[in-house]
Structure 1
Amino acid sequence: MARLIGLVLLLAGLSYPFAVYFGQQHLSPRFFALLLGGLWLARLLSHAQRPGSRWMAAAALMFCVLLGLADNPELLRWYPVLISLFCLCLFGLSLRFGPPLVERIARLREPELPEVAVRYTRQVTKVWIGFFLCNGALASALTLWAPLSWWALYTGLISYGLMGLLFAGEWLVRQRVRGQA
């Protein structure tokens, strides 16, 4: 059940900018607040033991309460900024309190990582921190100063394309680093 809730929340996040763009004229911000709030509450109840789950869910629920109370369509555009902030915090806190998030992911495939790989995963974690910092800043700027169409295009398509490019670029660099080891 927890995986299903996580998948639904992921799909809701991916489709969110387009739902806001196309649904803002027909749906109240309270509808979005109820939908997102319900998903985050379900995540909180099903993922309570995972690191970061409680504080992320609590912050997302506070956002949903604010969105529901204010019923302001402008607040809808801040959700992708919140998600970038969550990712920034997860990667950043993993550097501080270790092991870095990228190292944890790498150890799923290769539990005994050599020291050079551990150093590499730390650097990759820093790159992701930079990405989420820039992504959040750009999403904030688009929220404040750009038309809704630009915001939807960036937060719903371009940012995911950039993430994909970063994944692919890191994979290529990793292959080169592994070849040298």
Structure 2
Amino acid sequence: MAYPLVVYWAMGRFEPRWLALLLFALGLLRAVATRQPVWLVAAAGAALLALLATVFNEALPLKLYPALINAVMLAVFATSLVFPPSAIERIARIAEPDLPPAGVAYTRRVTQVWCGFFVFNGALALVTALWMSDRAWALYNGLIAYGLIGLLFGGEWLVRQHVKAGHRHG
């Protein structure tokens, strides 16, 4: 979570090629921790960005990491819509193994909403990396994006409570 803020803080203090070590380490840690193919792909993407930052000693590849993560999350969620169960259904079944058909439909819709969010958030992460100041990039990717994630989580929770109440009374 702190990656954008750490990168922003370090940009004026260290050359990008040294910050690339942080990006490479993050990708490697995530891949080793999960051992899931999608995170191995993300780690390869992070390694490529780190390599570019190292070779060209430029910060842009470091700033592209949030966009990469959004693309990976979009791929995971979108793939789960093509090959069910959806990502949100899998999470929901942890708490409610016997999810009714209405719950399956609801979780599918929520997965679609998250896909839309990852497109929106990833596009803004890309725009801030390519065309905005380092400060704007850090502000959006290190703070605002997480606020938007929290709003989406909270809003979905409120909608879910309403939907559940409707099914109990219906």
TM-score normalised by structure 2 residue count: 0.91
* 1:131 matched to 2:98: no
Q: Secondary structure at the match of 2:12?
A: coil
The structure 1 segments of at least 4 consecutive aligned residues displaced by more than 3 Å after TM superposition are none
Select between 94-103 and 114-123 the one with higher mean Cα deviation: 94-103
2:26 is matched with 39
1:6 is matched with none
The alpha-carbon distance between structure 1 residues 46 and 148, as it changes in their structure 2 partners (threshold 3 A), is closer
Q: Secondary structure at the match of 1:33?
A: helix
1:173 is matched with 159
Q: 2: distance between equivalents of 1:64 and 1:161? A: 27
2:10 corresponds, among 18, 23, 44, to 23
Aligned residue pair count: 167
- Would the aligned equivalents of 2:53 and 2:60 in 1 still touch at CA under 8 Å? no
* 1:154 matched to 2:154: no
Q: Secondary structure at the match of 1:52?
A: helix
Select between 20-29 and 52-61 the one with higher mean Cα deviation: 52-61
1:93 is matched with 79
The alpha-carbon distance between structure 1 residues 76 and 38, as it changes in their structure 2 partners (threshold 3 A), is closer
Q: CA RMSD in A?
A: 1.4
Q: 1: distance between equivalents of 2:10 and 2:30? A: 24
Q: 1: distance between equivalents of 2:82 and 2:50? A: 29
Partner letter of residue 13 of structure 2?
H
Q: 1: distance between equivalents of 2:158 and 2:127? A: 31
Unaligned runs of 5+ in 1: 1-13
Give the deviation of 1:51 after TM superposition.
4.8
Q: 2: distance between equivalents of 1:83 and 1:147? A: 20
- Would the aligned equivalents of 2:81 and 2:111 in 1 still touch at CA under 8 Å? yes
